Structure 1
């Protein structure tokens, strides 16, 4: 497949109708390049900053993502600026699932493979903020266009059920969605304990309702048991198209523009390849799909952004657009040494066994235990499997604050009063008011509990004992941050300032989410599986201790959004509802950075939907 990729001679000094800058968030860029090149009369060049990673077993194997997530070969591994809300410490900032991936396919090559879609009310809120056409019905149509749902084996071997609605999913798209074959054995008990605390199991999370708990589908081919991502889903089948050139290791420096009246026009893209600087020319458009961290940096290096930031750095201002790099939102994750909510589980009677210590043929099975080849083979034979056990991230729960916290109304009232009395810009105030509506709606979730049969970002403390991780994620933070260039050098990191917990309500929600997870874990039947809570642990019980623990153990949730927000220009927007950058004739942004309000879910499916929707918008403009 490598030989089908472009050479530098195929791109440098050449002219294309569309140039797609997929500097880091190439998930969307792959979709855009594949869909636009369906028209043989349209030529497309796709530039990726990272390596190709084609046919790489670390990517194709769905069990390897925890390793690639922290490997600099696959992840850019940015750090934030020092965060006062976290005792002034910088934190790891892997740019998201969809934007931290280093290589062709972006984060779709290293994410946890879970596929879900936002709550209906969240997408409708995006529309109501001034983005005509971006409602749930339209969004869902394009989300299904990317999907090829693969019905599960009707002979389930686990109590952790494969539930779905056929009309909620797509059946003909390039990305297969399937249920994990195996279970750690504690998932169903976790669901029953959640139900005892008001969180019901739902039959699908792909129809606009994610409130509840369920077994998620994943972007895994059920035949090959391999990851399917933006490259092998969208690009592999079309690399032979003569009108499509895909060039990896092409690090974009800037967009070259000219002025036509009051509009900025993109004419070329400058990039580095093989330690030399090249240009490629655009007839029609430059499409930026570089992710919420890199997209604002590309625009600012191109002279499009806040004059007060660019001029002191010596960057010539082509377009004064102060909203570039603002309105940044990031899922906030609570962790302990990058492993949050870690419990040691005692053995129990289970048919399928994941993440548990095996004692006299009773117990759960962990990923670390499966590293023992003899043990893994024993399980394969015992269950009559053709392939090894596969451990998939598929236990997801989304919870409204009203279920989790006795002070939910008090928190909402406090935030409502703060916004009403605050001196906020018009656009931010409008977004906050929409968030308040969502916060006050008991049918809309506010945080996530990820049930992980992994010791997620490192080996288990003892590889022969079972561990289970619960990640707590604040899904729709009120805190807004910024991402801006701090040098005219395109290789220099941007200043990433998510301002964690600048809004008190985000910290309050995280604390109450942590308390709720602990409460569920102490509810039967899951309680009987818990041998010892290691974090927060018995030493964390008072309010003061809980708040201190959460501040100390917070980091990026990998799901950055908002830095190129789709809003009216007078309300802080960078792009309009057709994804055009304000003040430009032919520059669009297609990635998660356009979302003006972050949604609670893992954004893989959202990014594909945005990209599919964008492609039809662009095609209509050139019919």
Structure 2
């Protein structure tokens, strides 16, 4: 006999954990949360500096990679996504960044996402947040489920990066989630008392004992069950055993930028010709499913040093220091091990004509190889250059109707060469920063791109050869008002199917300029109000960069 719930949520990642908490909070709604991965009870998922180890654990990852990218020399790249309760928030870098305030005004004003302007979504950011360092700020909240913290004790190299950058005349930024996120500075992270604050620990665990909430793990969703244009349940697999749950009210897809379009397509919602080619029964012709995928491409300047100040690496002094750091962490849950390593960033404009930052730099006080590794691999540091507002976009599609088959992920990096120019600009700026006197004591030498790579053609070849994602996919089930180009309306309802919504990064109308987890939490908070019929909170009337009432006129 099939189990029946009021709400069935597909995906136990960031959005799914928030929704499971909010929809079950009244004690009356029965809620099922279905997650393809295991529980998040492994130690490696709790220690903030274990982020590389967490990413490298195959049992917590979907093992995705892109299709061969023409803009990258016809090669693929690895695109990690969490397959565990908490989703990618259980394996990511824990960065708390919301996006530029004007990003959301663009959603509302340019993309037809009515109700999603910055002043309308700010209350939802604030609702989730427990951010003691910014207590009293109209841009921040305290008392929410998600703890946000300052870096506990940054590596000395982090301060060198900030000083070198501001010494070049780049503006300082004290709060990347305040009125104006342009500039360089230290960034906050979702860390509570020295432990990773995933959205599972923040939202799901406090709700796990509710009798009206059922969490199903190690369950691979095959498809949404659709009858007469209505979503009525979900079919999933535990091992090779098929099972079903039914939904009285709604099915909510929160399977992520790759998973949600893939589930829709397997359910018969997508382009008719593509579905028929795969032998999938068409339930609704919606050719925009999967179209519009965007991600942030990046390349790095990396230097080597024989000094042992860096966060990873082996030497007598660094080993002794690391033993002390470990003892401090084990005894008091504090110190560098309680941080997320990459603790400084910059959001900058590549030219004065650009209206808001289109380039992100991330400082790395560690030698970073092409793949995440658990063991130290030498002393070094570097800077990632990231195209924060990519113009290139691609799609997510299916290679097969088999739910175990990985989707085809094709973001088409550098199809628009403006993105390449942004990354190139960032690498040149990174070199200038690393050549400032603040880094002189470290006796470093550049190993990537290397001293021989100087002219633009050589830099571009290096960028295409080494570009990786910084793990921020979105926009594959876009939200908006145009039924021809979007998958969901501003209420996040899937067009043409009753009782079905998508709530995750796939609904971004455009990709925000920066890390995406906080925005996903906000979307889930707002979606919960919509689903429950709650009145939206009053917009927060504050000045911010890029608004009609901006900082200059406040």
TM-score normalised over the length of structure 1: 0.81
1:141/1:382 CA distance change after superposition, 3 Å: closer
Answer whether contact 2:310 2:381 (CA < 8 A) is retained: no
Q: Provide the C-alpha distance between the structure 2 equivalents of 1:476 and 1:580, rounded to a whole number of angstroms.
A: 26
Answer whether contact 1:26 1:104 (CA < 8 A) is retained: yes
Q: Provide the C-alpha distance between the structure 2 equivalents of 1:600 and 1:498, rounded to a whole number of angstroms.
A: 16
Q: What does residue 321 of structure 2 align with? A: 375
Pick from 393, 396, 399 the counterpart of residue 348 of structure 2: 399
Q: What does residue 446 of structure 1 align with? A: 358
Pick from 49, 59, 80 the counterpart of residue 66 of structure 2: 80
Answer whether contact 1:70 1:77 (CA < 8 A) is retained: no
Q: What does residue 120 of structure 2 align with? A: 138
Q: Provide the C-alpha distance between the structure 2 equivalents of 1:45 and 1:198, rounded to a whole number of angstroms.
A: 53
Residues 1:389 and 2:336 aligned together: yes
Q: What does residue 251 of structure 1 align with? A: 220
Q: What does residue 430 of structure 1 align with? A: none
SS of 1:575 mapped into structure 2: coil
Q: What does residue 418 of structure 1 align with? A: none
1:512/1:365 CA distance change after superposition, 3 Å: closer
Q: Provide the C-alpha distance between the structure 2 equivalents of 1:46 and 1:150, rounded to a whole number of angstroms.
A: 31
Answer whether contact 2:78 2:468 (CA < 8 A) is retained: yes
Q: What does residue 18 of structure 1 align with? A: 7
Q: What does residue 542 of structure 2 align with? A: none
Q: What does residue 470 of structure 1 align with? A: 383
1:571/1:257 CA distance change after superposition, 3 Å: closer
Q: Provide the C-alpha distance between the structure 2 equivalents of 1:89 and 1:165, rounded to a whole number of angstroms.
A: 49
The CA deviation at 1:123 is 0.9
The CA deviation at 1:535 is 0.7
1:31/1:382 CA distance change after superposition, 3 Å: closer
Residues 1:125 and 2:106 aligned together: yes
Residues 1:175 and 2:157 aligned together: no
Stretches of structure 2 that go unaligned for 5 or more consecutive residues are 537-554
Q: What does residue 351 of structure 1 align with? A: none
Pick from 467, 480, 498 the counterpart of residue 585 of structure 1: 498
The CA deviation at 1:454 is 2.6
Q: Provide the C-alpha distance between the structure 1 equivalents of 2:326 and 2:400, rounded to a whole number of angstroms.
A: 54
The CA deviation at 1:604 is 1.4
SS of 1:537 mapped into structure 2: coil
Instruction: Please list the CA deviations of residues 19-38 of structure 1 after superposition, one character each: whole Å capped at 9, or x if unmatched.
Output: 0000xx62100100110001
Instruction: Give aligned pairs, total.
Output: 529
The CA deviation at 1:530 is 5.0
Question: Which region of structure 1 is more displaced relative to structure 2, 508-517 or 448-457?
Answer: 448-457
The CA deviation at 1:524 is 2.9
Q: Provide the C-alpha distance between the structure 1 equivalents of 2:157 and 2:202, rounded to a whole number of angstroms.
A: 32
Q: What does residue 284 of structure 1 align with? A: 249
SS of 2:336 mapped into structure 1: coil
The CA deviation at 1:341 is 1.8
1:382/1:40 CA distance change after superposition, 3 Å: closer
Q: Provide the C-alpha distance between the structure 1 equivalents of 2:223 and 2:325, rounded to a whole number of angstroms.
A: 53
The CA deviation at 1:208 is 4.3
Q: Provide the C-alpha distance between the structure 2 equivalents of 1:271 and 1:622, rounded to a whole number of angstroms.
A: 34
Answer whether contact 2:314 2:376 (CA < 8 A) is retained: no
Q: What does residue 516 of structure 1 align with? A: 429
Q: What does residue 271 of structure 1 align with? A: 236
SS of 1:186 mapped into structure 2: helix
The CA deviation at 1:134 is 0.2
Q: What does residue 52 of structure 1 align with? A: 39
Answer whether contact 2:135 2:141 (CA < 8 A) is retained: no
Instruction: Please list the CA deviations of residues 519-574 of structure 1 after superposition, one character each: whole Å capped at 9, or x if unmatched.
Output: 22122323554511111110100111111111101122211010000022345110
1:380/1:232 CA distance change after superposition, 3 Å: closer
Q: Provide the C-alpha distance between the structure 1 equivalents of 2:170 and 2:480, rounded to a whole number of angstroms.
A: 34
1:237/1:381 CA distance change after superposition, 3 Å: closer
Q: Provide the C-alpha distance between the structure 1 equivalents of 2:390 and 2:325, rounded to a whole number of angstroms.
A: 42
Instruction: Please list the CA deviations of residues 486-518 of structure 1 after superposition, one character each: whole Å capped at 9, or x if unmatched.
Output: 211111111111111111111111111111111
1:343/1:618 CA distance change after superposition, 3 Å: same
Answer whether contact 2:366 2:379 (CA < 8 A) is retained: no
SS of 1:509 mapped into structure 2: helix
Q: What does residue 235 of structure 1 align with? A: 204
SS of 2:518 mapped into structure 1: helix
Q: Provide the C-alpha distance between the structure 1 equivalents of 2:530 and 2:313, rounded to a whole number of angstroms.
A: 46
The CA deviation at 1:249 is 0.6
Instruction: Please list the CA deviations of residues 319-346 of structure 1 after superposition, one character each: whole Å capped at 9, or x if unmatched.
Output: 0000000011011121xxxxx3211246
Q: Provide the C-alpha distance between the structure 1 equivalents of 2:94 and 2:365, rounded to a whole number of angstroms.
A: 14
Q: Provide the C-alpha distance between the structure 2 equivalents of 1:539 and 1:183, rounded to a whole number of angstroms.
A: 32
Answer whether contact 1:164 1:203 (CA < 8 A) is retained: no
1:460/1:615 CA distance change after superposition, 3 Å: closer
Stretches of structure 1 that go unaligned for 5 or more consecutive residues are 1-11, 95-99, 152-162, 335-339, 347-355, 358-363, 404-408, 410-439
Pick from 519, 522, 533 the counterpart of residue 606 of structure 1: 519
The CA deviation at 1:88 is 0.8
Q: What does residue 3 of structure 1 align with? A: none
TM-score normalised over the length of structure 2: 0.91
Answer whether contact 2:364 2:384 (CA < 8 A) is retained: yes
Q: Provide the C-alpha distance between the structure 1 equivalents of 2:452 and 2:491, rounded to a whole number of angstroms.
A: 52
> Root-mean-square deviation (CA), in Å?
2.4
The CA deviation at 1:164 is 8.4
Q: Provide the C-alpha distance between the structure 2 equivalents of 1:290 and 1:476, rounded to a whole number of angstroms.
A: 23
Answer whether contact 1:136 1:208 (CA < 8 A) is retained: no
1:45/1:523 CA distance change after superposition, 3 Å: same
Q: Provide the C-alpha distance between the structure 1 equivalents of 2:344 and 2:419, rounded to a whole number of angstroms.
A: 23
1:572/1:180 CA distance change after superposition, 3 Å: same
Instruction: Please list the CA deviations of residues 393-438 of structure 1 after superposition, one character each: whole Å capped at 9, or x if unmatched.
Output: 22111111116xxxxx6xxxxxxxxxxxxxxxxxxxxxxxxxxxxx
Q: Provide the C-alpha distance between the structure 1 equivalents of 2:325 and 2:247, rounded to a whole number of angstroms.
A: 56
Q: Provide the C-alpha distance between the structure 2 equivalents of 1:33 and 1:104, rounded to a whole number of angstroms.
A: 12
Q: What does residue 64 of structure 1 align with? A: 50
SS of 2:60 mapped into structure 1: coil
